[in-house]
Amino acid sequence: MELFSHRFPALFAQLGLPNKEASIKAFIEANTPLADSVRLEDAPFWTAGQAQMLGEELKQNADWAEVIDQLSLAMRRYR
């Protein structure tokens, strides 16, 4: 069962993170659940550059915004 969009690998590569399916699943599992009160880009597990990229893309509603929103939802799911 695939738990994420096919675009997660591209987003993770853009963020400089391992982008294989197992690595993405491990990242999500290690960092969930993210509290609803925390914006994804403000989460403590990002570097300053990663947080900046996420925030700018969301603010501009750029190409990455949809997949960033999907990641945000995935990070908030409770096990």
Query: Per the domain annotation, does 2 fall within a domain?
Result: no
All residues at 6 or more sequence positions from 71 whose CB lies less than 8 Å from its CB, including other chains: 4, 8, 11, 28, 40
Q: Is residue 3 part of a domain?
A: no
pLDDT value of residue 78: 58
Is residue 65 helix, strand or coil? helix
Task: Tell me if 16 is assigned to some domain.
Answer: yes
Q: Which SS3 state, helix, strand or coil, does residue 43 take?
A: coil
What is the number of structural domains in the chain? 1
CATH number at residue 25: 1.10.10.1130
Q: Provide the domain limits for residue 36.
A: 8-76
For the stretch 11-66, pLDDT in tens is: 999 999 999 999 999 999 999 999 999 999 999 999 999 999 999 999 998 889 99
What was the pLDDT predicted at 1?
A: 39
8 Å CB contact between 77 and 33: yes
Q: pTM surpassing 0.75?
A: yes
